[in-house]
Amino acid sequence: MPTFSPDSVLASLSLEDKVRLLCGKDAWHLHGLPEHNVPEVTLTDGPHGVRLTDEHTLNDNTHPATVFPVEAAMAATWNPELLHDAAAAIGRECQALNVGVLLGPGLNGKRSPLGGRNFEYFSEDPQLTGIMATAYVQGLQSEGVGGCIKHFVGNEQETRRFLINAEIDERTLQEIYLAPFAKAIREAQPWTVMGAYNSLNGEFCCQNSDVLQRLLREELGFDGLVMSDWSAVQDKVLAHANGLDLEMPGPALRDDELLQAVRNGDVAESVLDERVIRVLRLIKRIEEEQRPVTVDWEAHHELAVRVATEAIVLLKHEQSLLPLSTQSTTALIGEFATEPRFQGGGSSHMKPKGMTLPLSALEQRGTVRYAQGYKDTGTTDELIAEAVTVAREADQVVLLTGTTDSMESEGFDRANMELAPDHVRLIRAVAKANPKLVVVMQSGSAMDTRAIEDAAPVILQAWLPGQGGGEALARVLCGEVSPSGKLSETLPLRLEHNPTYETFPGNKTDVTYHEGLFVGYRYYDTKKLPVAYPFGHGLSYTTFDLNDLRIEQNGNDAPARLQVTVTNTGQVAGAETVQVYIHDEVSTLRRPEQELKGLAKVHLEPGGSETVTVTLDERAFACYVTHLGRWAVESGRFEIRVGTSSRDIRLREWISVESETEVRILPSLEDPVEEWLADSRTSPVMRSVLDDLGFDDQHPMAAIVRGFPIPQLVKFIPWMGHDEATAQRAFQRLAEQRSAVG
């Protein structure tokens, strides 16, 4: 096959050729240069499978491919090794379909349960998102297909997503929204990054030099190609000048603007060359990584089933109703049993290569009586009556409910967290007919379960489980596999408890992330608010003990390594996820009550034990210190909390961490007396000065004096009977001490 050298090709290109390469040829292809042996290459949507269209336009005429569970479900497995394998399978399908870059995974956060695209993002927690995204990118790229982590950055809503300006303070940006990108870039080296539609702090992300240059290139060290989200470029000249390499999609409509800017000297041709060489290097890499592949579709389907199985979260289990008895008659109720809700709406919507339906999967295992129950979000008296009759005549009932494309999709945010009212009416009617009821929710994000809690002794969260969802559900319901999924996001008691309730999705122009670091469980746990089901929660058919916590510190700042022994104390095989949270005893900067910093999933036979190891990386004890402009660890005591959810902590141990970094801001000569007294570096001299002046804690003016800024204190001293020279000497002592410390 003829090949090319990116550097040689760049040196021979005309200005017009260079500009042409910086925009897609059409919706899914990059320009080739036949005269230079530069081939056209294909990009296509992901992230839970290959969404490849026949045409060069944005349509749904897709090639069939394996539809894996959505990212929210992938994260609920808490199994990065399994996700690596699934992404590698997606990579093989990309190779078979001649796709060079898959547009995924999505790493955005979940400020609110109402985010319309939450199903396409991993988690409310940046560490879990980073771990799963890293595994995904490594798996995909192990098959020679480039990952495209997206949407960089601050794209946490669909409302006015093309226009909204996200106002995010630097610490929140670094610790919550950049952190997953940073981890994936450091550990997986994705080939490409996609810029977001929205503005960040006043400038559109795809033309924001702070986003594309300072954050992405300089701080995160990304050296691959940066492309726009589809039609996200507002100002083509500014975008390429400030760090964007590739505008998508084509055909180009504004090439003349960029050409003119270069000819006028508004954009240096050397800057253009930096963008062009990255496009050429990407095409070269795709070409070099092309390989013949024969896809084992059956194996990929089984892998999709495995992911869906491990993603199912057993939220509630009363009356020992599960596993189902395959010797008894099961009533299966709900349209999703025959027309499953298996994927989200929008750009990730795929045509499945195969499909297993819940009805057929359960029928293979026992006697099943089916009733439709509802159509989309609605029902009728006749449908309810049929469902009630079927339920009454059965030994056990499984009812499928959840969201529909009209409730949850790319393009709009959800109106609420609630199940459709008619679904609730159906559930309550069926529960009266047969209380042995298992409710299965199929949705891409958090649901409000209050309306069904008293009616449903068993509730499972099955997410949007992909093409193998029916088989996965049957395996769990019938006890062939013990459920091991853990919530990747909190299910709050009610929407009003969410910290973004008053601010999501913002006003017409701006959305301010007022909640800061306190997103998801970081907020609920800090506020000690009751929740329906906590972050990391998930029940099993067996039980596990965690014991023998051992911690080894490898340095002053970190990292540290800990070991925990997990024992299956039940009667069936199962898997448990060890979750490691860190609590900072005292911090200069406000921190959440606890933060997830590590995890390990282990499968055990009954009576089996295994010691798992979790390594805490260099960021485990650190926070972003804005006035230092970097991450830093503050000396102090940290509690290592090990459990099976954020609200089920089994083991605790304190460790001390020493750091050479001073995080505290030294009080200035303009600050109040009380700040000098609160800082150990300045408290002694301030107390000495106050004592000399007679302002001890017993003085009637002591409380007032503590609130004085230093200049006001100096002015006040003569009013208390001291001469001005005494006041000046006091000020001099404070100035000298601050200078000595600072």
Please give the helix or strand (H or E) that residue 531 lies within, else none.
strand 531-533
Q: Residue 74 region, left (φ>0) first, then alpha (ψ -120 to 50), else beta?
A: alpha
* Residue for token pair 């026992």: 366
Residues in the chain: 742
Residues with Cβ within 8 Å of 228's Cβ and at least 6 positions away in sequence, in order, are 194, 195, 206, 239, 244, 246, 247, 248
125 is catalytic: no
Architecture of domain 298-533 in this structure: 3-Layer(aba) Sandwich (3.40)
pLDDT at position 358: 98
Q: Which tokens is 368 given?
A: 């099943």
Class of domain 13-67+77-289 (CATH, top level): alpha beta
pLDDT score at 378: 98
Q: Tell me the sheet residues that pair with 612.
A: 564
**Of 422, 338, 411, whose CA–CA distance to 380 is shortest?**
422
Residue 561's beta-bridge partner residues?
552, 615
As averages over each run of 10 residues, the pLDDT of the chain (742 residues) reads 89 97 97 97 96 77 93 98 98 98 98 98 98 98 98 98 98 98 98 98 98 98 98 98 98 95 97 98 98 97 98 97 97 98 92 97 98 98 98 98 95 97 98 98 97 98 98 98 98 98 97 98 98 98 98 75 98 98 97 98 98 93 97 96 98 94 94 93 91 80 87 84 85 90 80
- Both tokens of 614, joined, read 């979790």
The domain limits of the chain are: 13-67+77-289, 298-533, 544-657, 673-741
Fold classification of 544-657 is Immunoglobulin-like (2.60.40)
Residue 69 in tokens: 């569970």
Percent of residues in the chain assigned helix, strand, coil, to nearest 5: 35, 20, 45
Q: What is the DSSP letter of 513?
A: -
| Contact status, residue 275 vs residue 207, Cβ threshold 8 Å | no
Q: What span, in angstroms and rounded, lies between the C-alpha atoms of 128 and 75?
A: 7
∠ Cα 84 137 310 (to 5°): 35
CB 205 within 8 A of CB 232: yes
SS3 sequence of 164-215: CEEECCHHHHHHHHHHHHHHHHHHHCCCEEEECCCEECCEEHHHCHHHHHHH
**Phi, psi (deg, nearest 5) at residue 430:** -65, -40
| 54, 169, 223, 229: the active-site residue | 229
Amino acid at the residue 31: H
What is the C-alpha to C-alpha distance for residues 510 and 200, in angstroms, rounded to an integer? 10
**H or E stretch including 567?**
strand 560-568
pLDDT value of residue 556: 53
How far is residue 606's CA from residue 28's CA, in Å, rounded to a whole number?
A: 50
Q: Rounded to two decimals, what is the model's pTM?
A: 0.96
DSSP code of residue 418: B
Q: Are 17 and 276 in contact (CB under 8 A)?
A: no
- Residue 463: the pLDDT is 98
Give, rounded to a whole angstrom, the gap between the first and last alpha carbons of the chain: 65
Residue 114 CB-half CA count within 13 A: 22
DSSP string, 608-658: -EEEEEEEE-TTTT-EEETTTTEEEPPSEEEEEEEEEETTEEEEEEEEEE-
